[in-house]
A and B are shown apart, each in its own frame.
Chain A
Amino acid sequence: MPYLIRRLLHMAFVLWAVATIVFLMFRLMPGDPSAAFIDPTFTVEQQQEIRAQFGLDRPLPEQYLIYLGNLARGEFGLSFRQRQPVIGMVLDVLPNTLLLTLTALLIAYAFGTLLGALMAWNRGGRFEAVSVPLVLTTRAAPEFWVGMVMLAIFAFGLGWLPSGGANTAGAQYTSEWDRILSLDYLRHLALPALTLAIYLQGLPALLMRSSMLEVMQEEFVTMARMKGLSERAIMLRHAARNALLPLVTAFALGFGQSVGGNVVVENVFSWPGLGRLLADAIANSDYPLAQCAFLLIAFVLVLMNFLADLLYGLLDPRVAHGRG
């Protein structure tokens, strides 16, 4: 079977499994199973409509099939709080999460790659001796606490940046693009993105370091050295370029993981994204909203895992053409 089709089937399997786990989790919770979709304060008509839509009075296996069908059609039920379809609420905040994740990852990978290359270059030197434990420390620091320290210093202490949200309250914008491309949005984005980036840069830094060290022992680097190329040229033109390959897949995987991992940072900075929506929904027992947010986060994760697999296959042909 071709590689692409195999990966697609694999992705479909994982998506189905995750959807099934979500179905079971929210129905096996303590209390009435229909509590996952019906709030006691819904009007009688709303209750009946949802009962029919999700087949809540049918046996569990039948409910499960109806649930899968609803998922395929994008029907996720009504929010307990807002009384509107949850899918709209979730899609509304998705751009904020994606933008935050992408900004943080770009900063993290630009900085981390450079740091990792420098660490490899200074193998055994003082720079490496200091930076490796430092990088490990950033990986050990809870993101929400780093965010709190950032807030205390840059928002409350120095007053340079806003302390939360994505836009100043009451500001008017002509369109969604206008809102996102404003300086105000950028100022709100700065601290959460930086907080996330401080955590995320550790992985590319350590990966780049070990990948560089590995590449530097390869024959073509020795060859370049024998040709009399300068150390700098060898590092930039030969070693670094080849060492970057593992980072490409790590970026895709990191993207998928951060969309879920953003939960704490989004909450510290009141950033209106998926993670904050999920936490609020859980705190308010708004189960349809929580399910939908969770499924979307998982969907992004699975999609990114799939892309990482594909990239890996593209960059390293041995994988794609290997055992079938």
Chain B
Amino acid sequence: MAVAEARAAPAAPSLPVAPRRGAWSAFARHLLRDPYALAGISIYVVFLVVGLTAEWLAPYDPMEILFTPEGGLAASLPPGSDHWLGTTNLGRDIFSQLVMGTRPSLIVGLSAAVAVASIGTVVGLLAGYFGGWADQLLMRLTDIVLGLPFLPFVIVVTALLGPDLHNIVLAVAIMLWPNAARVIRSQVLTLSQRQFVEAARVTGAGEWRILFVHVAPSVLPFSALYGAFAVGWAILTQASIAFLGFGDSSAISWGTMLQDAYASQALDRGQFFWFMPAGLCIVLVVLAGFLVSRGYEDLLFPKLRDDK
């Protein structure tokens, strides 16, 4: 302790700001330099724009049953100028469903990211900084979550609490926050040994002030990384739940579209235009998250970096 204080004293004037700026500007530089990350960001932006403007982009109401000019049901039409991706067996416009289906995916993905990042950060900060029983509790909770099967748990939670999107987000957050918390905890452990924290302590800052003003900003890039991981998991999970029929069947999403196609024998009839686009959209959005977080992970954990 004495050694640490002695070392900290000269550092006191140039206090705590340095680490946080470093991490964030490194993040920005990484995004601009890494072509994969840039591709990921571009995909996000496209889907965000589509999600926000879905009402204007969709030519029809996605649930509306359409009729041909001759008065017959516009069922199972192949792609054409009136229906870019054709229609379902009940005469609904597939392109409109695809556009409107962007929303639930984005909502689930982004809210899960925020939930995982904030729970993981707060718990990781407390456990890492105060140690003791808070630390023990975090470790045991993590062990328990590792013993819960991911998808079956989400299925049971949505079945018991109801099929709303926020229950899916809740279940995903319960399953994913411990990873984030564990990593942030270990970051806090190393950070609290660092000079700027000692310096803050010497200048009389309280424990909470040190934790949230001096330590927390430095771990936020890690929170962002685990948030980015959660986006993909949450979107895949929501789609799986919808496909299994435990989602909100009245709301159009890519998962319900695929479930509809599966249940209506679109596979049997070879209607690829019905079930390919929604699947590809899920792949793109989830892949975008991987591309952004992958290079970013290398940046935050230099040990994992494998260049020579």
Stretch at the interface among B3-11, B13-21, B63-71, B267-275: B267-275
Within the complex, what minimum Cβ distance (angstroms) separates A124 from chain B?
A: 9
Within the complex, what minimum Cβ distance (angstroms) separates A250 from chain B?
A: 14
The answer to whether B122 has its CB under 8 Å from any CB of chain A is no
Provide the B132-145 mask, 1 if CB < 8 A to any CB of A, else 0: 00000000100110
Asked if B152 and A263 make an inter-chain contact with CB atoms under 8 angstroms apart, the answer reads: yes
Within the complex, what minimum Cβ distance (angstroms) separates B153 from chain A?
A: 8
Within the complex, what minimum Cβ distance (angstroms) separates A200 from chain B?
A: 14
Question: Which residues of chain B have C-beta atoms less than 8 A from A278's C-beta?
Answer: 152, 155
Q: Which of A15, A25, A140, A149 contacts B156 (CB 8 A)?
A: A25
The answer to whether B204 has its CB under 8 Å from any CB of chain A is no
Bound-state Cα–Cα, A275 to B244, Å? 11
The answer to whether A236 has its CB under 8 Å from any CB of chain B is no
Asked if B152 and A297 make an inter-chain contact with CB atoms under 8 angstroms apart, the answer reads: yes
Question: Which residues of chain B have C-beta atoms less than 8 A from A30's C-beta?
Answer: 160
Question: Which residues of chain A have C-beta atoms less than 8 A from B290's C-beta?
Answer: 136, 139-140
Within the complex, what minimum Cβ distance (angstroms) separates B47 from chain A?
A: 13
Q: Which of B144, B245, B279, B306 contacts A145 (CB 8 A)?
A: B279
The answer to whether B206 has its CB under 8 Å from any CB of chain A is no
Provide the B160-174 mask, 1 if CB < 8 A to any CB of A, else 0: 110000000000000
Stretch at the interface among B25-33, B80-88, B281-289: B281-289
Question: Which residues of chain A have C-beta atoms less than 8 A from B272's C-beta?
Answer: 152
Asked if A305 and B279 make an inter-chain contact with CB atoms under 8 angstroms apart, the answer reads: no
Bound-state Cα–Cα, A144 to B262, Å? 10
Asked if B149 and A297 make an inter-chain contact with CB atoms under 8 angstroms apart, the answer reads: yes
Bound-state Cα–Cα, A257 to B149, Å? 7
Asked if B143 and A14 make an inter-chain contact with CB atoms under 8 angstroms apart, the answer reads: yes
The answer to whether B189 has its CB under 8 Å from any CB of chain A is no
Within the complex, what minimum Cβ distance (angstroms) separates B235 from chain A?
A: 9
Interface residue ranges of B235-268 to A (CB < 8 Å): 236, 239-240, 243-246, 258, 261-262, 267-268
The answer to whether B151 has its CB under 8 Å from any CB of chain A is yes
The answer to whether A42 has its CB under 8 Å from any CB of chain B is no
Bound-state Cα–Cα, A156 to B270, Å? 8
Query: Which B residue's beta carbon lies closest to that of A258?
Result: B149
The answer to whether A142 has its CB under 8 Å from any CB of chain B is yes
Decide: A282 near B148, CB < 8 A? Known: A136-B291, A141-B283, A148-B275. Answer: no
Bound-state Cα–Cα, A297 to B152, Å? 8
Interface residue ranges of A132-164 to B (CB < 8 Å): 133, 136-137, 139-146, 148-149, 151-152, 155-157
Question: Which residues of chain A have C-beta atoms less than 8 A from B146's C-beta?
Answer: 14, 305
Within the complex, what minimum Cβ distance (angstroms) separates A191 from chain B?
A: 12
Total interface residues in chain B, CB < 8 Å: 49
The answer to whether B201 has its CB under 8 Å from any CB of chain A is no
The answer to whether A260 has its CB under 8 Å from any CB of chain B is yes
The answer to whether B49 has its CB under 8 Å from any CB of chain A is no
Question: Which residues of chain A have C-beta atoms less than 8 A from B155's C-beta?
Answer: 263, 278-279, 282
Question: Which residues of chain B have C-beta atoms less than 8 A from A141's C-beta?
Answer: 279, 282-283, 286
Asked if B287 and A137 make an inter-chain contact with CB atoms under 8 angstroms apart, the answer reads: yes
Decide: A142 near B279, CB < 8 A? Known: A10-B143, A213-B306. Answer: yes
Asked if B147 and A302 make an inter-chain contact with CB atoms under 8 angstroms apart, the answer reads: yes
Asked if A151 and B244 make an inter-chain contact with CB atoms under 8 angstroms apart, the answer reads: no
Question: Which residues of chain A have C-beta atoms less than 8 A from B151's C-beta?
Answer: 260-261, 263-264
The answer to whether A79 has its CB under 8 Å from any CB of chain B is no
Question: Which residues of chain A have C-beta atoms less than 8 A from B282's C-beta?
Answer: 140-142, 145
Bound-state Cα–Cα, A259 to B156, Å? 16
Q: Which of B147, B244, B287, B306 contacts A140 (CB 8 A)?
A: B287
Query: Which B residue's beta carbon lies closest to that of A212?
Result: B306
The answer to whether A53 has its CB under 8 Å from any CB of chain B is no
Decide: A14 near B144, CB < 8 A? Known: A144-B240, A282-B155. Answer: yes
Bound-state Cα–Cα, A30 to B167, Å? 14
The 7 A-B pairs of least Cβ separation, nearest first, read A260-B149, A145-B279, A140-B286, A140-B287, A14-B147, A213-B306, A29-B160
The chain B residues found within 8 Å of chain A, CB to CB, are 36, 140, 143-144, 146-153, 155-157, 159-161, 232, 236, 239-240, 243-246, 258, 261-262, 267-268, 270, 272, 275-276, 278-279, 282-284, 286-287, 289-291, 294, 304, 306, 308
12 A-B pairs with CB atoms under 8 Å apart are A14-B144, A29-B160, A136-B294, A140-B289, A144-B258, A145-B239, A145-B282, A149-B275, A149-B276, A157-B270, A263-B244, A279-B244
Other than A143-B240, A294-B149, A298-B152, give 4 A-B pairs with Cβ distance below 8 A: A13-B140, A17-B147, A139-B286, A140-B287
The chain A residues found within 8 Å of chain B, CB to CB, are 10, 13-15, 17-18, 21, 25-26, 28-30, 123, 133, 136-137, 139-146, 148-149, 151-152, 155-157, 210, 213-214, 217, 257, 259-261, 263-264, 267-268, 275, 278-279, 282-283, 290, 293-294, 297-298, 301-302, 305
